[in-house]
Amino acid sequence: MENLKIKIEKAWNNKKETWNTDSNIQNVVLEVIDHIEQGNIRVAEFSSGKWIVNEWVKKAIIIYFSIRKMNVFKLGPLEFYDKIPIKNKFKDKGIRVVPHAVARYGSYISPGVILMPSYVNIGSYIGENTMIDTWATVGSCAQIGSRVHISGGVGIGGVLEPIQDSPVIIEDDVFIGSRCILVEGVLIEKEAVLGANVVLTSSTKILDVTNEEPVEMKGIIPKSSVVIPGSYPKKFPSGIYPIPCALIIGKRKESTNKKTSLNEALRTHNLVN
């Protein structure tokens, strides 16, 4: 892989005009995208206790967009007109795909994943036995772990550019409630539970309210946290108004099954009657 990295970095530093004319560059890029498709290469990976972004893989994806030509793709009576082919051979890969789920070539989906009508973009990674529920979207380069439940209508943003930015990362055994929005490279650590409608950006305040004084953080939901949407007052020239935030109200108990429903997790913290 180091050899591919060197070649991609060299191609990236060349003029963009060469991307569409140099067959050597094109072949290297196609090889990298094929490795992403097979799960051999990831946009981001956990190493030495932290997530590392492989910027060169992002660069390969951007060059891939540049060298691809628009084409018509037909699936029975359906027609698409795009640069990137649609993923296929789901049966051979052990993936359950319900119509009209769509995944782009260059995304990796592990065996045991269930795709309800949803969308998975290029560069993304989905771990084993994860559920992507109805009308959920997995953005380009998003990294999702194993045994994760992405509920209906969830929007997982992708971060392809800027190159150096981390994509949205969701670790193993996480539950994401309906209509949550996660963008701008936020990190959801293992076993966290997010209630419905939690919105997280890189600048969203995350307040841990489990002790006498709140603890503020941004961009990360700690391991096993139970999170609900909240608000805090902010003064503007015309008055004081509530600003959305996320509230950490407790921790998922070790005794709680990792496949627990959202209601069961919230009931532990007296939030469900």
Q: Are strands 199-200 and 102-103 parallel, antiparallel or unpaired?
A: unpaired
59-70 pLDDT, tens digit per residue, is 999 999 999 999
Q: Is the pLDDT confidence value at 258 over 80?
A: no
Q: Which domains does the chain have, with CATH numbers?
A: 2-67 (1.10.166.10), 71-267 (2.160.10.10)
Return the pLDDT at 264.
62
Give the mean pLDDT of 91-118.
96
Q: Is the pLDDT confidence value at 253 over 80?
A: no
Angle between helices 23-38 and 55-67 (to 10 degrees): 120
- Contact between 62 and 68 under an 8 Å Cβ cutoff? The reply is no
| CA 171 – CA 174 distance, rounded (Å) | 7
16-49 pLDDT, tens digit per residue, is 889 989 999 999 999 999 999 999 999 999 999 9
217-228 pLDDT, tens digit per residue, is 999 999 999 999
Return the pLDDT at 156.
97
Return the pLDDT at 14.
87
The pLDDT > 90 percentage for the chain reads 83
Q: Is the pLDDT confidence value at 270 over 60?
A: no
- Contact between 87 and 101 under an 8 Å Cβ cutoff? The reply is no
Give the mean pLDDT of 83-90.
93
CA angle 230, 117, 202 (to 5 degrees): 35
Q: pTM for the whole thing?
A: 0.91
Return the pLDDT at 255.
60
145-161 pLDDT, tens digit per residue, is 999 999 999 999 988 88
Least confident of 85-99, 165-179, 249-263: 249-263
Return the pLDDT at 262.
56
Return the pLDDT at 263.
56
Token code pair at residue 249: 């109200």
Query: Mean pLDDT, the chain, as a whole number?
Result: 92
Token code pair at residue 75: 């699936």
